[in-house]
Amino acid sequence: MTSLPLIPAISDAPAARRASMPPKHLADLDLAGRQALVTELGEPAFRAKQVSNHYFGRLVRDPQAMTDLPAATRERLSEQLMPTLLTPVRELACDDGATRKALWRLHDGALVESVLMGYPDRVTVCISSQAGCGMACPFCATGQAGLTRNLSTAEIVDQAVYMAGVAASGAVVGSPPRLSRVVFMGMGEPLANYNRVIGAIRRLVSPAPEGLGLSQRHITVSTVGLVPAIRRLASEDLSVTLALSLHAPDDDLRDELVPVNQRWKVAEVLDAAWDYAARTGRRVSIEYAMIKDVNDQPWRADLLGRLLAGKLTHVNLIPLNPTPGSRWDASPKPVEREFVRRLRDAGVSTTVRDTRGREIDGACGQLAAAEDNDTFTDRAGEAPA
Ligand code: SAH
């Protein structure tokens, strides 16, 4: 094999080190850290709780709106505790407002995206953990663009707080007004930005005013399969849901589709996934993009079924979403149905994911954070999936 992509750099890629991290924000710190900081600034410690209540409890991101604070305090705390991290560039909506994508500019000009999805019983936000991604999966628009930098904990959390505010405003018609789930399935490889992502998860699950108060099992971390980081995650006191982007049951093909497989093979990554399931009691999601004539053959379904049978797992098949310049197509529906049938026959719980957000380039693998809107216009005529 000569055309395999290079193994991508993992967490301390030079690009990630050179890029400029944002100023500190209250969401980078736990409550004790915020109390220490406000005291250092000459404010009484209770201000930390007061500001946290606004931010995590009432989803107020603009310090100027915190009118119960004296004006001078507001100024000081807004600079030191609540610098602007995300500047909106564009927001797109489809599905009558039930799906929304926000494009953000960060303090150094880097761009990231977040996607909100409303359902009758829940509201889910898909957030980014890095600007770009270094994992180089050839079918993913984010992977094609490369890594710009890691996001800070607060840059990750602020996406969820913003979208929780959108839900609370009642803008997601037909859905409950409370954000219920967060999935790390936006731009980036969360486990390559490990410490900041763990910090963000802690903020998301701590009860208000320390954090957003979401349930651990309603947080999903999706990974290409960085085995040491999966093992480390299993040893945290967090039972979040793990999703593994497998996409092929055999090393030959997975080496190409998910280049990090050249380092950690299918058997190793599945071992780590089963250990994660055993330690947390949580079912691991296996993500599998259905790519026509690439990974959708009946024999691959059978092989996948044999690897997964009897395990605490669930397969999410994702119809391949179009990305610019991609040479691949989604599998035809009959092929997809046969794949599902074979997996279920093997006793493996399997569903096909909806293609939410496709027409706003907000579906899996489409987040490229480009400022021009061409792909949106190009696709506007496509029937919603
Ligand atoms: N880097 C992490 C988080 C991204 S999650 C990971 O890979 O798991 C995004 C999910 O969408 C991953 O499962 C990814 O493999 C999948 N994906 C990427 N490009 C896609 C495409 N064009 N169509 C369908 N799914 C895609």
**Measured in whole angstroms, how far is the alpha carbon of residue 255 from the centre of its chain?**
23
H-only helix segments in 171-320? 194-205, 227-234, 251-257, 266-280, 298-308
Look at residue 71 and tell me whether its pLDDT is greater than 60. Answer: yes
The pLDDT assigned to 356 comes to 83
Query: What is residue 288's DSSP assignment?
Result: E
Q: Establish whether residue 321 lines the binding site of ligand 1, counting it when its CB lies within 6 angstroms of any ligand atom.
A: yes
SS3 of 244, please? Answer: strand
Give the tens place of pLDDT for each residue, 109-130: 999 999 999 999 999 999 999 9
Q: From residue 25, give the alpha-carbon distance in Å to each of 157, 204, 292.
A: 10, 15, 45
Indicate whether residue 194 lines ligand 1 (CB < 6 A). no
Domains, the chain, ordered by start: 26-82 (1.10.150.530), 87-360 (3.20.20.70)
pLDDT, tens digit (0-9, with 9 covering 90-100), for 326-384: 899 999 999 999 999 999 999 999 999 988 888 888 888 888 877 764 333 333 333 33
For 180-219, give the DSSP string: -EEEE-SSS-GGGGHHHHHHHHHHHHSPTTTS----GGGE
pTM beyond cutoff 0.75 = yes
Report CA(223)–ligand 1 centroid distance (Å): 9
pLDDT in tens, 232-282: 999 998 999 999 999 999 999 999 999 999 999 999 999 999 999 999 999
Tell whether residue 94 is among the known ligand binding residues: no
Note whether 328 and 139 are within 8 A (CB): yes
Least-confidence region, from 24-28, 151-155, 376-380: 376-380
Kindly state the tokens that stand for 175. 């859905």
The pLDDT of residue 4: 55
DSSP 78-120: HHHT-----EEEEEEEEGGGTEEEEEEE-TTS-EEEEEEEE-S
Find the 362 Cα to ligand 1 centroid distance in Å. 12
Q: What's the rounded Cα separation, in Å, for the pair 254 and 295?
A: 9
Give me 72's structure tokens: 């001078």
Atom 11, ligand 1: which residue's CA is nearest? 364
